[in-house]
Amino acid sequence: MFKIKKNDRDLDEVLKQLNMYTMQVALELEAIKNLGTKFDAMNKKLEDLEKRISDDVEEQTSSIPLTLKNRSAIKLIVERYGKITSSQLSKLIKLSRTRCNEYLVEMEKDGILVSKRDGRKKFYSLRR
């Protein structure tokens, strides 16, 4: 840390050097504390931002209604084919099978379609 020269054995000089190093250490500790405080503030802001983004995404995805365009397209396809599975529909309208199944189930709940199982497959047709 500090060096005491052999010919500088004066006690006052040693105390001055110790005081100087003590002040330097104190200043460096204060700087480290300030960095820690700044880091904590930045971390808090990041957490708040992540929560806002998560809430926005959740709000947007939970409020997406079945679009009239997709609903009309599905209704026309079911009219044309008579009955259809979610897998068949997904190939025709180029959406995932899961998403097509969600549309079909929602339209069934709305009373537009009815479903009938045939083995492992579930066919949807228009309600008469």
**34-43 pLDDT, tens digit each:** 998 898 999 8
Phi/psi class of residue 84: alpha, beta or left (left: φ > 0; alpha: ψ in -120 to 50)?
Answer: beta
CATH topology of domain 68-126: Arc Repressor Mutant, subunit A (1.10.10)
Contact assessment for residue 104 and residue 66, using Cβ atoms and an 8 Å cutoff: no
Contact assessment for residue 101 and residue 86, using Cβ atoms and an 8 Å cutoff: yes
**43-94 pLDDT, tens digit each:** 898 888 878 877 776 666 555 555 777 888 899 999 999 999 999 999 998 8
Domain ranges for the chain: 1-64, 68-126
Q: What is the pTM of this model?
A: 0.48
